[in-house]
Structure 1
């Protein structure tokens, strides 16, 4: 089991590094291009920047909760209430990221219209859809894990 969790930990670290690089190199370049294309409309640029920053922080919180979940698995606490709580937090963080990008979609649309880049709207939809899938999956795992804990406690009481 340890080798599988080590692989997942490496994956979490790589995802965190990729997101950090994205935040450092891609987002500022995108925001600068947005500001120039929109003829200096600072409010929309700031809204997009703040939304991306908050979504990035929430993404790192999701990775942190996933790391904790792997710790619970390593310490044989996978079927416990703390694991259910970690999944619940992952679900809420992912729903929040989805909500942020849904609120940002009009800004993506305005930029796509001005820059004549309709593919940008699809990118905005993907940014909103990916965390939605993660949130739904975390919700499903949370429900299944909660039921497994209930069955385990009933079996412990029976024996």
Structure 2
């Protein structure tokens, strides 16, 4: 992969991380306060929902870090290694954790009769996106594992 492409991808990952961090620190608390003022009957859910959103950011940022490590492996030309397989597995696990947290959050809001249809749609979209990422990383992990096995067999043959 060309060096410029790897740098562009790293920059994209940094931008995604910075935007997510800025939104979570500066905009989410204000949004939660505004929602609590508009709907005082659901004001008691302000902090549990915020904590749930912040909890999903932990695996998100860990997955971004693993993506940066994958790009570093590509840059150093060791992309076909067990380290890359491990990083893909870690991304897959982070995506499953995000799915689990959002499913639990949606179920808890539904039990409380506080699940707004807009929030449900956003939650389902995030769950679907995390599912696609987990499936894609699982497929890449297996392909990479197979390629490493073929490479080692080829090295032994020659």
TM-score normalised by L of structure 1: 0.88
Is 1:86 aligned to residue 71 of structure 2?
Answer: no
1:39 aligns with 2:38: no
Which of 110, 114, 135 aligns to 1:111? It is: 114
Q: 1:41, CA displacement in angstroms?
A: 4.9
Flag the 1:152–1:94 CA change in 2: closer, same or farther, 3 A. same
Deviation of 1:106 after TM superposition, in Å, equals 3.0
Aligned residue in 1 for 2:120 = 121
Q: 1:92 to 1:138 in 2, by over 3 A?
A: same
Residue-by-residue CA offset, 1:73-123 (whole Å, 9 max, x unaligned): 11111000000000000110111011111111135543345xxxx222101
1:40, 1:3 → 2: CA distance? 49
**1:138 alignment counterpart:** 137
Which residue is 1:101 aligned to?
102
Partner SS, residue 111 of structure 1: coil
- Which residue number corresponds to residue 150 of structure 2? 151
- Bigger drift between 141-150 and 119-128 goes to 119-128
Instruction: Give CA-to-partner distance per residue, 1:43-83, whole Å, 9 cap, x none.
Output: x3333222111111211111100001111011111000000
The alignment yields a C-alpha RMSD, in angstroms, of 1.7
Cα distance in structure 2, aligned partners of 1:46 and 1:18: 22
Question: Is the CA contact 2:42–2:114 (under 8 Å) kept in the aligned structure 1?
Answer: no
TM-score, reference length from structure 2: 0.88
Residue 64 of structure 1 corresponds to 65
